[in-house]
Amino acid sequence: MILSMTGYGKADTTYNGKKIHVEVKSLNGKSLDVSMRLAPLYREKEMDLRRKIAAALVRGKVDFTIWVEKEQALAGSPINVEAVKAYVEQIREVSASLGIAAPKDGFWDVLVRLPETTQPAVAEELSDEEWAATEQAVDEALARLESFRRQEGEALRAKFCEKVDNIERLMGQIEPYEKARTEKIRQRLEERLAELTGVDYDKNRLEQELIYYIEKLDISEEKQRLTNHLKYFRETMDGPCGQGKKLGFIAQEMGREINTTGSKSNQAEMQNIVVKMKDELEQIKEQVLNAL
């Protein structure tokens, strides 16, 4: 089974008047690279989160975020009522003693700027209950990302199957040209020798040299090895997940056989087919980088 390294998952939960958001995104990468942005309350759990992500995602470049929205009643700092009362009494006393009218418009603008009218928010501590709710949202986000990866993996598999089938079909198209070229090579050599008037040659020796030359151009072994690689690629796709690197190695071996076939192909038709095979393989190599 193929899983893509590209994925996205998001989950939300509520606890004690807070809405907790968890978001995780992943792209392809040679190893696991996790970038985290956590609300301050959850930073103490960073190592636990990294272990959980590593176990779930294995490989890829991962962006992980937890942020919190508080209800309006909890969002601001509480007002220090006693300090406000004291300031109001002082302002009234000063106004009365100096014969100045107490401020009316904008009175609150004055008060909120005075020191200690708001109380600093009490430092929060992460309770076991809140962490349990948050961890459940983390698990849900990771599960959704894995589902996304699975869907993308199915699309990758369909693409790979198409390209592997195309390479196999193109390899079959080489065979007619491969059989015909032996006679063409013999005919071309005999025509050249016939042009050398007055020169005698050993026909048995010519036959031996011709056989040797044709054997050097034979691509039977390359075709057999390429067939084996295509079969192994299909088997690996249908095996356990997490075989992206192995698929990449198999694609490299497929490339070796296709390149050798091209170097032995001394006909334009065969070389054109080899170019098409290389194009199909290149598309496999590009997409296999996304496979987990």
Domain annotation covers residue 240:
yes
Residues 26 and 34: their CA atoms lie apart, in Å, by: 9
Domain annotation covers residue 118:
no
In this prediction, residue 63 carries a pLDDT of 95
CB atoms within 10 A of CB 164: 21
Residues of the domain holding 202: 153-288
For residues 204 and 133, membership in a common domain is answered with no
Q: How many CA atoms lie within 13 A of 223 on its CB side?
A: 16
Domain annotation covers residue 186:
yes
The CATH number that applies at residue 135 is 3.30.230
For residues 166 and 281, membership in a common domain is answered with yes
**265 Cβ contact partners less than 8 Å away, ≥ 6 residues apart:** 174, 219, 271, 274
In this prediction, residue 119 carries a pLDDT of 58
Specify the number of domains making up the chain. Answer: 3
Q: Tell whether the model's pLDDT for residue 73 goes beyond 50.
A: no
Domain annotation covers residue 277:
yes
For residues 135 and 223, membership in a common domain is answered with no
Residues 290 and 212: their CA atoms lie apart, in Å, by: 45
- Mapped onto helix, strand or coil, the DSSP state of residue 91 is helix
Residue reference for tokens 């000063």: 94
Domain annotation covers residue 122:
no
Residues 162 and 140: their CA atoms lie apart, in Å, by: 34
- Mapped onto helix, strand or coil, the DSSP state of residue 15 is strand
For residues 201 and 243, membership in a common domain is answered with yes
**pLDDT digits over 213-267, tens only?**
666 777 888 889 999 999 999 999 888 877 888 999 999 999 999 998 888 877 7
Residues 131-151 have a mean pLDDT of: 94
For residues 97 and 12, membership in a common domain is answered with no
Is residue 21 within 8 A of residue 68, CB to CB? The reply is yes
Domain annotation covers residue 117:
no
Domain annotation covers residue 2:
no
Q: At what angle do helices 244-264 and 268-288 cross, to 10 degrees?
A: 170
For residues 268 and 280, membership in a common domain is answered with yes
Residue reference for tokens 């038709």: 269
For residues 188 and 203, membership in a common domain is answered with yes
Q: Among candidates 67, 33, 75, 26, which has minimal Cα distance to 50? A: 33
Q: Tell whether the model's pLDDT for residue 104 goes beyond 90.
A: no
Q: Tell whether the model's pLDDT for residue 165 goes beyond 90.
A: yes
For residues 107 and 163, membership in a common domain is answered with no
Q: Which two tokens stand for residue 80?
A: 């220090």
For residues 142 and 164, membership in a common domain is answered with no
For residues 191 and 264, membership in a common domain is answered with yes
- Mapped onto helix, strand or coil, the DSSP state of residue 26 is strand
Domain annotation covers residue 241:
yes
For residues 175 and 60, membership in a common domain is answered with no
CB atoms within 10 A of CB 19: 13
For residues 166 and 198, membership in a common domain is answered with yes
Q: Which residue has the higher pLDDT, 196 or 70?
A: 70
Is residue 60 within 8 A of residue 27, CB to CB? The reply is yes
Classify residue 251 by burial, with Cβ atoms within 10 Å: 0-12, 13-18, 19+. buried
Q: Tell whether the model's pLDDT for residue 197 goes beyond 50.
A: yes
